[in-house]
Amino acid sequence: MRFATWNVNSVGARLPRLEQWLDLAEPDVLCLQETKCAGGAFPSQGAIERGYQVAAHGEGRWNGVAILSRVGLEQVSRGFPGEPLAPAAADGDPTLVEVPGRSVPEARAVGATCGPLRVWSVYAPNGRSLDSPQFPYKLRWLAALRGAVESEVRSDTPFVIAGDFNVAPADEDVWDPSAFVGSTHVTDAERQELAELRALGLEDVRARALKHGTPYTYWDYRAGMFHKNQGMRIDLVYASRPAASRVTDAYVDREARKGKGPSDHAPVVVDLDL
C-alpha cells in the first residue's frame, strides 16, 4: 500500500497539479490538508475518475481536510469528540479568521478506515504567535486530538495519523533554530504535545530526503526559501507499531514543490507492506 499526506494550500488552486501528482505517484490513500473548500464543494470528480473515494471535511475559505482512498473508505469521522472551539476574532485583528459566536469546531481532522488501515488526516492550528489566543488553542487542540485517538492507536488495527502538525519535532527539523527563537512551531510546549501523542504508541515515520539530506516538507514562498533549502519538517506521519513495522520506504517528494503555482508544502509518501 502506498500512503501519502500533502498540505495542498487550496485544492481549488492546486487541482491540476494534484490530479497530475495522483497519476505520477499513484497513492492508494492520500491525506490532504488546507483544502480551503466546504466539504460538499470538494472537487472530487477527477479523483473519482481515477478510482478514489473521497471523504472531505471543510468550511469554505479556511482550513479543510480530506482523505482519498482507492482501497475502501468506511467509518468516516469528521472532527473528533472533545475538539475545542477556536477563539473568536479580536476586533481589528485580521490575522484571526474565526468569527465571534462560533459554535462548531474548525474543519481540521477527518478519519476513515481505508482497507486494512485506520487513517486520520489532520491540520493543526498554526498558533500565530506566542502572545496570540491562537497559541493556547493550538495546545488544547493537540491535547484533545491525543485523547480522541488513544483507543484507536492501541487497537490491533494498523493506524496512521498524518498531516500538517505545524510543529517541528526537534531543532534538526528547521533550517536554522536561531531564526525561530521566540516563535511558534518550535516551543517546548508544542513539542511536548507531540511527544505525548507519540507516547500513546506511535512512531515518527521519518521520510528520506531526495536532495540536500534534509527531509523538510515546508518552505515559505518568500525570499527564495525553497531554492535556499530554508525549510521545516512539519508534515508528519505517525504510525502505530502494527503499521510502522510494515513500512518499506518513505520519502519527501520535493519535486512536487517545484514549478508554476506549487503548494508551499511537499507530499510525504510512505510505502507499507499491507
Give the sign of the dihedral formed by CA 126, CA 210, CA 205, CA 274.
positive
- Is 7 assigned to a binding site? yes
User: Is 229 annotated as contributing to ligand binding?
Assistant: no
73-107 b/e (C-beta count within 10 Å ≥ 16 → b): beeebbbbeebbebbebeeeeeebebeeeeeebbb
pLDDT attached to residue 157:
97
One-letter amino acid at 125 equals P
- Residues 45, 39 contacting (CB under 8 angstroms): no
Q: Is 188 annotated as a binding residue?
A: no
34 is in an annotated binding site: yes
- Structural domain including 204 reads 2-272
Which of 255, 257, 197, 206 lies closest to 233, judged by CA? 206
CATH code where residue 16 lies: 3.60.10.10
Beta carbons of 42 and 66 less than 8 angstroms apart: yes
> pLDDT at position 102, please?
57
Q: Rounded to the nearest 5°, which phi and psi values hold at 129? A: -150, 165
Q: How many CB atoms lie within 10 A of CB 251?
A: 16
- What pLDDT tens digit does each residue of the chain (274 aa) get? 999 999 999 999 999 999 999 999 999 999 999 999 987 899 999 999 999 999 999 998 889 999 999 999 999 999 999 999 999 755 444 444 444 555 689 999 999 999 999 999 999 999 999 999 999 999 999 999 999 999 999 999 999 999 999 999 999 999 999 999 999 999 999 999 999 999 999 999 999 999 999 999 999 999 899 999 999 999 999 999 999 999 999 999 999 999 999 999 999 999 999 9
Name the CA radius of gyration of the chain, rounded. 17
Q: E strands within the chain?
A: 2-7, 29-33, 53-57, 65-69, 74-78, 109-114, 117-123, 159-164, 202-204, 235-240, 247-252, 268-272
The pLDDT value given to residue 104: 84
- What region, left, alpha or beta, does residue 213 occupy, with left being phi > 0 and alpha being psi -120 to 50 degrees? left
**pTM of the entire predicted model:** 0.95
How many residues does the structure list for the chain?
274
**Count: domains in the chain:** 1
Residue 223 has a pLDDT of: 87
Catalytic site positions: 123, 164, 265
Q: How many CB atoms lie within 10 A of CB 13?
A: 13
Supply the DSSP symbol for 265. Answer: B
The span from the CA of 29 to the CA of 26, in Å, is 9
Task: Give the ranges where the chain is alpha helix by DSSP (H).
Answer: 11-25, 45-49, 134-153, 188-198, 241-244
Task: Count CA atoms closer than 13 A to 70's CA, side-chain side.
Answer: 18
